[in-house]
Amino acid sequence: MRGSIDGLGSSAPLGPMLPAVFAEDELAQSFVAGLDEVIAPILNVLDCLDAYFSPALAPLDFTAWVGSWIGAETSGQEGEYGSDAERARSAAQLRAAVAAAVHLHRIRGTRQGLAEAVELAFGVQPEITESGGAAWDARPLGPVPGGRRPELHVTVRLAAPGPADRHRLDALVAAARPAHMPYTVQVTAAERTPDA
């Protein structure tokens, strides 16, 4: 959380900008010094404004706000609870989701877009099965690819699936799938390979 910082100097102090008649007036200089202390955080933000719109540099709460503003898939990634490692991982996922939002909006509703959104949120490649298909045939009236009924199934295999993971996956797939496509989701434990 941001706030005022004691002793933060202003990048544009008001004292030297006063007319010459107030240059040596102690009361006027003290008054504008108090204003400098109030205005310094605002000027500091304005001086660094470009950094606020870079997900890698912006404060975390501002990054979450920008994510909601641009429609980034950030559900469950702005957590304030858990261990330091979990908060750091959550912050990194939030920053990555906001940075990738424009790209994901371009490919939204496609298999690639869904796969990238799920991988960004969970850190693993999903298994996606769908009924659609595309084919080319030189003769008319060839076989139609895909299934008769539209369907989509997304499976994610996690090392330690939690109770909220299925809900997160369901919300993510509902937002990133083609609008007309009925879907199902599944979260399972990843198979462990024996150590060699």
Global pTM value: 0.65
Angle at 56 (CA atoms; ends 126, 54), nearest 5 degrees: 110
Q: Does residue 163 lie within any of the structural domains? A: yes
Give the burial string for 60-80 (b: 16+ CB within 10 Å, else e). bebbbebbeeeebbbebbbee
Q: What pLDDT is stored for residue 196 in this prediction?
A: 47
Q: Classify residue 54: in a domain, yes or no.
A: no
Q: Is there a contact between 185 and 169 (Cβ–Cβ < 8 Å)?
A: yes
- In the listed set 12, 31, 49, which residue is the last one of a domain according to the structure? 49
What's the CA gap between 67 and 73, in Å, rounded?
8
Q: Is residue 103 part of a domain?
A: no
**pLDDT for residue 2:** 58
Q: Which of 112, 135, 115, 111 is nearest to 125 (CA)?
A: 115
Question: Given the structure tokens 């010094």, which residue do they identify?
Answer: 33
101: Cβ contacts below 8 Å, ≥ 6 apart? 67, 70, 71, 72, 73
Low-confidence ranges of the chain (pLDDT < 70): 1-5, 74-86, 193-196
- 104 in a structural domain: no
d(CA 162, CA 167) in angstroms, rounded, equals 10
Alpha-carbon span 9 to 36, nearest angstrom: 8
**Considering the domain boundaries, does residue 181 fall inside one?**
yes
Burial of 181 (0-12, 13-18, 19+ CB in 10 A): middle
Task: Encode pLDDT of 73-102 as tens digits.
Answer: 765 555 555 566 667 778 888 898 899 988
In a domain, 72, yes or no: no
Quote the number of domains for the chain: 2
> Could you tell me the CATH number of the domain that includes residue 116?
3.30.300
Query: What gap in Å lies between CA 32 and CA 60, rounded to an integer?
Result: 32
Six-digit token pair at 173?
A: 């797939």
Asked whether residue 141 is domain-assigned, the answer is yes
123's tokens: 């850190």
Domain residues for the domain of 194 are 111-196
CA distances from 16 to 39, 60, 142 (A): 15, 36, 82
For residue 12, being part of any structural domain is answered with: no
Does residue 122 sit in the same domain as residue 192? yes
